[in-house]
Structure 1
Amino acid sequence: MFRRSVWACAVWALCALGHGAAAQGTPGVPMVDTHNHFQAGKDRNFVAGLKAALREMDRVGIARMLLMPPPLPQEQGPMYHDIEDLQFALKDAPGRVALLVGSSLNVMIHSVAPQDVTEAVKARFAARVKAILDQGAVGLGEIAIHHVSIPAMGSQHAYEFVPADHPLMLLMADLAAERGVPIDLHMDLVPEDMPLPAALRPNPLNPDTLPANAEAFKRLLRHNPKTRFVWSHVGFEPLLTRQPQRVREWLKAFPNLYMSFRLNRGHAHPAAALGPDGQLKPAWMALVTEFADRFLLGSDSFYDRDGVARGGLEPGSNQGLRALRNFIDALPLPVAQAVAHGNAIRLYQLPPLTVP
């Protein structure tokens, strides 16, 4: 792991130059996007979706992506898919795609109450984890601990909640540590019980009060210090609870915790990494520089035959990807290289990038 003092010195030296990569940004630094999906449904043409994804990646300089199913709480017809449905991508796009899979695991976790987890349930869960990893997944995900339902995604966009220290979550942490793979988590942070924000009230699947989940998540992170977790969607999230100072506190307290940036749009709220003008805020620049070895990119793009179906500002948009590109270009060179691809390659044990 990189030492923060080294990063601070490197960044200071580059910035002190007043010219070159640090002052002008770092266009051309290749990116690894660690959080992507296919837009499933009636048209499950994943082959066409992969071709569209590769086109969009080339436009913004994404050298490799990690592809995963979204975290559904149950096997919801054509929306549901797992590693067996994604294996083709490794053959069709060698070197450009890696798989990060856990949809069947998410269903199992959300289907069994904590008090009902028996040894037989644990055995089935462990067997499925092994089967996923044996088929080449470089990690487990996306796993939902707390996932609010977004009205813009439709009335069936699931609300999901399980205690972060659910017995199957703890078992997953141990199994991931044994195999040396990370876990990608979706957890909308609720530091203490809070009323449902007004913007989420149009979807009746959300409860009127969101339950606190921070303490249970801390117990999960402490359970096995060897387990590495990637907490997705920092920088653009519906509850706006991960402000820079709070993120700093979490990263200081838990050395096994990483976060991936989703930057679909800017907002004036401190929890949004980009301002309304689309520029990286100074507080976030300072945070990323301080913890340059703990952040990754994770656009949360949903690809179909036409490109980015979800994940931009409107259907067919790749503005979320371009926001990641602009974010990386704004960082000093050593920080940009770490966040854009170095941390992902190290964490997921990916082959080095071949850069012309």
Structure 2
Amino acid sequence: MLKLASRPVRSSRLSCLRQRPLLQGALALLLGLAGSMAVAEPVAADETRDYHYSDAHLHFVDFFQQGDGLGALLDAMDEAQVDHALITGIGVAKKWQQDAPKKPRYYMGDDGPVYWYSGTDYILAEALTRAPEPVQARFSPFITGFNPTDLNAADEIRQLMAIYPGFWKGIGEVFTRHDDLTRLTEGETPRANHPALRKVYALAAEKGLPVMVHSNVTSKREGHEGLYLEEFESAVRDNPDTTFIWAHAGTSAELNRRLGRMTWLHGEIERMLETYPNLNIDLSWSVLEPYLLDDKGQPRPRWVKLVERFPQRFVLGSDVVGRFGSVGDILASYTPFLDALSPQTAHNVARDNFLRLVSLPVE
């Protein structure tokens, strides 16, 4: 395998990674000997909460298909104790229009449109396949570079899987209802139950790949309870053999700003988890506040109870977009909620549930 061209020092660091299991084994032996010569002290419950993570929502590039690179991402993951990550591109690219005074910095930076961009998958695949195997093993790459309103989408995904056999571990994040991103996207409005996506879901079931779908539960302007819920629910209901991950539990930062906390959302999430065993919930980005935590930063008991009731159905991610310096801070911000869960459930949410979704062993 080729070394990372952008960070040649990575090879020495990877050598250390390969030696880490030996060092850990030696340390465990020394600790065991020390423990046999001393009386064990009880460990406080809080001291056992040393969370390791699977970042279940991470974008390798931004809306201009650029990012910090794989070396910076590995550094951020190590610092944040992220053992594994769902990694995906961004399925759209922002257009820099000729009449714009300067290049926009975000997809909402001006009124220029965004367009479906298949190259994002190749950017990700080329970066990862050139990396050493120990690096590749830390990622589950998801396919996202397709137009979810194009009836050709499933065929394009199948072709991409043939180009990189055995590489892809899932599909998504699929953008459907997504605030201003939907408004700015050229072409037909995507929705979770679009006929094109029905073909994609069937392919995902055939290949055993989970699908992450971004589908806002309602409109930021209308605010009706569950305005778009049926679009997503019918996709889950009509494809029982497909494993779904609902990005951000149907919320968004814009919905939070416009509508505040949708008090009815908890009940809908609970109902859907009861009804559809193929549904999983992503708690990243816009779910922490105001849902998991109240305005004083305290865990909301109803959400703690909900996660405890379905301890293997929730995953956690940073949702960073091409820039990785904030991964640790974002994941650490979930600590108050994780600490309110039982230790096993907390570790499920922080790391193990996503590993199960992509059929990786949970140690």
TM-score where L is the length of structure 2 = 0.68
Query: Which whole-Å deviations, capped at 9, do the CAs of 1:306-349 have from their partners, x for residues lacking one?
Result: x34xxxxxxx6853222134433442111012212221111111
Could you say which residue in structure 2 is the equivalent of 1:70?
Answer: 90
* Pairing 1:1-356 to 2, within 5 Å after superposition: 23-24=45-46, 26-40=48-62, 44=66, 46=67, 48-72=68-92, 81-87=119-125, 88-89=127-128, 91-92=131-132, 93-104=135-146, 107=147, 109-110=148-149, 112=150, 117=151, 121=152, 124-125=155-156, 127-128=158-159, 130-131=161-162, 134=165, 136-149=167-180, 161-190=189-218, 195-196=221-222, 212-234=227-249, 237-238=252-253, 239=255, 240-241=261-262, 243-263=265-285, 267=289, 269=290, 272-304=291-323, 307-308=324-325, 318-352=328-362
Tell me the CA shift for residue 123 of structure 1: 6.9
- CA shift in 2, pair 1:168/1:263, >3 Å: closer
Does the 8 Å CA contact 2:174/2:214 hold for their aligned counterparts? yes
Q: Which runs of 5+ in 1 are unaligned?
A: 1-18, 198-208, 309-315
Distance 1:58 1:286 in 2: 31
Tell me the CA shift for residue 243 of structure 1: 2.6
Tell me the CA shift for residue 352 of structure 1: 4.3
Question: SS in structure 2 opposite 1:185?
Answer: strand
Distance 1:41 1:81 in 2: 12
- CA shift in 2, pair 1:167/1:129, >3 Å: farther
Question: SS in structure 1 opposite 2:140?
Answer: strand
Could you say which residue in structure 1 is the equivalent of 2:29?
Answer: none
Does the 8 Å CA contact 2:191/2:215 hold for their aligned counterparts? no
Distance 2:293 2:120 in 1: 33
Does the 8 Å CA contact 1:146/1:186 hold for their aligned counterparts? yes
Distance 1:26 1:50 in 2: 31
Q: Which runs of 5+ in 2 are unaligned?
A: 1-41, 96-113, 256-260
Higher relative contact order (CA 8 A, sep 6+): 1
- CA shift in 2, pair 1:162/1:77, >3 Å: closer
Quick one: percent identity of the two aligned structures? 26
Distance 1:244 1:265 in 2: 11
Query: Which whole-Å deviations, capped at 9, do the CAs of 1:281-310 have from their partners, x for residues lacking one?
Result: 111111110110100112211233xx34xx
Distance 2:230 2:115 in 1: 34
- CA shift in 2, pair 1:278/1:133, >3 Å: farther
- CA shift in 2, pair 1:189/1:133, >3 Å: farther
AA aligned to 1:60 is A
Tell me the CA shift for residue 100 of structure 1: 1.1
Distance 1:274 1:62 in 2: 22
Question: SS in structure 2 opposite 1:178?
Answer: helix
AA aligned to 1:134 is P
TM-score where L is the length of structure 1 = 0.70
- CA shift in 2, pair 1:235/1:180, >3 Å: closer
Does the 8 Å CA contact 1:147/1:158 hold for their aligned counterparts? no
- CA shift in 2, pair 1:219/1:235, >3 Å: closer
Does the 8 Å CA contact 1:170/1:220 hold for their aligned counterparts? yes
Does the 8 Å CA contact 1:189/1:214 hold for their aligned counterparts? yes
* Count of aligned positions: 293
Query: Which whole-Å deviations, capped at 9, do the CAs of 1:111-162 have from their partners, x for residues lacking one?
Result: x4xxxx4xxx377346346447735110001101211127xxxx96889842
Larger Rg, first or second structure (1 or 2): 2
